[in-house]
């Protein structure tokens, strides 16, 4: 392995902190969806959904398979455009934007099925996550000496701090295609963190993991939330994990919202219990 310098094992708070949402105090509303409905042809994926995400909280979205959880994330990060309803971000109503524009506003995400750049190394994947923070143009990049190199090194420092934080130093230069599943998930989290998002969307970050890996991942999620105050919205199927790490929970079923509140409130909600355990419809 090539030896590289690492400034500190501790990630400084300035590294992964918000920018656009600086004006919003923790506990205030960061994002709100209002009466969102989304349909594909005749199939209704989401019907009249409203909820909010407060700055600094861990917000879980749960529900049985096909409840519309992933569709909800896709609406938030602009991959789907709802036919009805509005999305408010940082106190402003959001225009219909493309996903890459939304990334520049400070929303990052991971995917249910890992969506890493298979041909690139761990480091390059995380550096790609820094894309929204890099400014040099084609000409400066081609000449390299000067601005481009400086920018590369500055961003490399941030990337290295994230690598340290996620404890993936040893696989820094390994092509991600060769990594085991659990590590790939971690690299994907790293890539999203590298964007220093105001809002981090995690689509089933622990799917397919064993207990130990889940514990690791939960710890990373909580650390990100605690230390840098990053707001997190996550989809997860493991109820134990959801109840343990989230501040508030939204429950979807068949594209409708059937519950919203703290884990304790949701647990005692009859509609939620019915959706999960099944109830005789008669």
Question: Which pair of tokens denotes residue 25?
Answer: 């105090």
- 103: Cβ contacts below 8 Å, ≥ 6 apart: 77, 131, 132, 195
- Binding stretches for another protein (CB under 8 A): 2-5, 70, 74, 77, 79, 98-100, 103-104, 108-109, 111, 115-120, 124, 127-129, 131-132, 134, 136, 138, 141-144, 148-149, 151-153, 156-157, 160, 191, 195
Output the smallest distance, CB 25 to another protein, in A. Answer: 26
Length of the chain (residues)? 282
- 173: Cβ contacts below 8 Å, ≥ 6 apart: 1, 2, 121, 122, 123
User: Looking at residue 20, what DSSP letter applies?
Assistant: G
The residue (of 74 and 231) whose beta carbon lies closer to another protein is: 74
Number of H helices and E strands in the chain, helices first, is 10, 10
- Give the span between the Cα atoms of 100 and 88, in whole angstroms: 17
The residue (of 11 and 275) whose beta carbon lies closer to another protein is: 11
Residue with tokens 């799917």: 207
Task: Name the burial class of residue 32, with classes exposed (0-12), middle (13-18) and buried (19+) by CB atoms within 10 angstroms of its CB.
Answer: middle
Output the smallest distance, CB 75 to another protein, in A. Answer: 12
The residue (of 4 and 264) whose beta carbon lies closer to another protein is: 4
Output the smallest distance, CB 108 to another protein, in A. Answer: 7
Output the smallest distance, CB 141 to another protein, in A. Answer: 5
Which residues partner with 52 through β-bridges? Answer: 32
Q: Contact at 8 Å (CB) between 221 and 231?
A: no
Find the distance separating the first CA and the last CA of the chain, reported in whole Å: 65
Output the smallest distance, CB 66 to another protein, in A. Answer: 14
Give CA 170 to chain center in angstroms: 24
The residue (of 115 and 170) whose beta carbon lies closer to another protein is: 115
Q: Contact at 8 Å (CB) between 250 and 62?
A: yes
Output the smallest distance, CB 220 to another protein, in A. Answer: 19
The residue (of 152 and 223) whose beta carbon lies closer to another protein is: 152
Output the smallest distance, CB 276 to another protein, in A. Answer: 25
The residue (of 74 and 230) whose beta carbon lies closer to another protein is: 74
The residue (of 96 and 277) whose beta carbon lies closer to another protein is: 96
């Amino acid at each position: 392995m090539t030896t590289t310098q690492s400034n500190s094992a501790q990630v400084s708070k300035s590294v992964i902190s918000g920018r656009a949402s600086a004006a919003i105090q923790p506990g205030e509303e960061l994002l709100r969806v209002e009466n969102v409905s989304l349909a594909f042809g005749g199939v209704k994926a989401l019907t009249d959904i409203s909820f909010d995400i407060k700055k600094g909280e861990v917000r879980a979205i749960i529900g049985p398979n096909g409840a519309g959880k992933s569709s909800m994330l896709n609406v938030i990060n602009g991959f789907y455009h709802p036919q009805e309803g509005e999305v408010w971000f940082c106190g402003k109503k959001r225009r219909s934007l493309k996903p890459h524009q939304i990334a520049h506003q400070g929303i990052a995400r991971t995917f249910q099925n890992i969506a890493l750049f298979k041909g690139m190394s761990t480091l390059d994947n995380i550096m790609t996550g820094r894309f929204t923070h890099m400014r040099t143009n084609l000409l400066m990049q081609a000449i390299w000496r000067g601005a481009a190199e400086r920018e590369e090194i500055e961003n490399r420092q941030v990337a290295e701090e994230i690598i340290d934080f996620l404890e993936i130093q040893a696989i820094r230069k390994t092509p991600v295609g060769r990594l085991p599943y659990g590590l790939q998930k971690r690299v994907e989290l790293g890539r999203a963190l590298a964007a220093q998002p105001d809002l981090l969307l995690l689509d089933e970050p622990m799917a397919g993991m064993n207990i130990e890996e889940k514990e690791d991942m939960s710890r990373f999620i909580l650390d990100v939330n605690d230390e840098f105050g990053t707001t997190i919205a996550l989809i997860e199927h493991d109820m134990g994990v959801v109840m343990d790490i989230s501040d508030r929970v939204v429950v979807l079923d068949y594209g409708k919202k059937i519950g919203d509140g703290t884990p304790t409130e949701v647990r005692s909600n009859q509609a939620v219990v019915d959706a999960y355990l099944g109830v005789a419809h008669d």
